[in-house]
Structure 1
């Protein structure tokens, strides 16, 4: 046709490809971009706020130290979960648990898991108590156990046993039946208050 030229096929195909790839609704692209930007902004804002409060609460050095500790803990956790390391750690843990169990629950001896059908005699009970007292244990009597026995003198032990024997069945919630226990309880409370310089008006000043 005179005065007109046909568009090359390659150019026409390129234009058609652009038309097909272009979204039919431009607002869809804007909404997706806006949503992505909002999510990114909120993420950055949350990160900045957490960093600000961390620095304000712990200071720069404290924050760096905590970050180092957390990073080391995470990396160490990944290291322990490695296949070869995990089996070795599990083996050592099982060995330690077996040792603790053997120490806490000694093998051998009699185990009483239910009430006896008939009550024990006094002699049988004393024999069992002697066996329990003679079980293999760390000797606190040598003075090398901390935080377990505060006073092990024989004279004091005998006096304590005698005192317990006089008030074996005493119940402090019945002061009319056991007035002696009520008196001792009140005196112990008063002694503790005096240690803290407490008065009838209350308060403590050391």
Structure 2
């Protein structure tokens, strides 16, 4: 327990004019910061969308609090449980012939066993969409046998290589540098820089990060914002959430799918 002398000193400090000044300064700082954020949002979105956004936020908060009630929480858990079962039935192979390996085997398997197991999994998944039928969008970007053969040969040659060690695997660094150089030339920026990524989502996130870091280093921007159309890839929102960037989403025409340039100009 603190001594009476310590308690007395704390009480004296809390009642001092200096502490009152600090409290007032902190309060004004918070009010000013929130006011600037609200002004930016209002300028970017307009009055009606801003009111709509606030109403949506308020509704979500009320719903969140309501779902914490025991009766509501139980109902939601039942609904989520049923939704989980529906997803499992759709995505997870079912049936008597399906074998699931949920723990490490006590002894290792042979290469032949692994190949047979992969073939069996192909059979188990036959009830799902077959991309080879050509009725799939956004998942397979080529699928030609000629390219697949080259990819398999390349992976066989470099499957143990590590791009983090270009001194040990110089061919990997060379290929990446040449790919980056080709892309830079396509965009008329041969003196630029780049890096390969795992796919489109990571490419967008890396681009968002690069622009955030550049804006901070060259323009002193500490509260970055990004303006995107409502039709933009979800990776922009994901990257902004990771990197603490405010997103201004601009509506698009429902027919032409063109973004509203007036809203874009206002957001900037």
2:156 matched to 1:165? yes
CA shift at 1:112, angstroms? 5.3
Between structure 1 and structure 2, the one with the greater Rg is: 1
Provide closer, same or farther for how the CA distance between residues 84 and 198 of structure 1 changes in structure 2, counting only shifts above 3 A: same
Q: Which residue of structure 1 lines up, in the alignment, with residue 56 of structure 2? A: 69
Q: 2:103 maps to what in 1?
A: 113
Whether the aligned pair in 2 keeps the contact of 1:54 and 1:63 (CA below 8 Å) is no
CA distance in 1, matches of 2:143, 2:166: 31
Q: How do 1:127-206 residues align onto structure 2 when only pairs under 5 Å count? A: 127-136=116-125, 137-172=128-163, 178-200=169-191, 202=192
Quote the RMSD (CA, aligned, Å): 3.8
Matches within 5 A, 1:48-127: 52-53=35-36, 56-59=39-42, 61=47, 62-77=49-64, 80=67, 87-107=74-94, 108-111=98-101, 113-120=103-110, 122-127=111-116
Q: CA deviation at 1:53?
A: 4.2
TM-score (norm 1): 0.56
Q: Which has the higher contact order (CA 8 A, sep 6+)?
A: 2
Structure 1 CA distance for aligned equivalents of residues 102 and 70 of structure 2? 43
Q: Which runs of 5+ in 2 are unaligned?
A: 1-23, 194-268
- Residue by residue over 1:79-99, the C-alpha shift from the partner in whole angstroms, topping out at 9 and shown as x without a partner, is 656776655433221100122
**What is the CA deviation profile of residues 153-195 of structure 1, one whole-angstrom value per residue up to 9, with x for unaligned ones?**
2222122212222333344455566554343232112112223
Aligned residues: 159
**Residues 176 and 168 of structure 1: is their aligned pair in 2 closer, same or farther, counting only changes over 3 Å?**
same
Structure 1 CA distance for aligned equivalents of residues 100 and 158 of structure 2: 32
Would the alpha carbon gap of residues 53 and 131 (structure 1) be closer, same or farther in structure 2, given more than 3 Å must change?
A: same
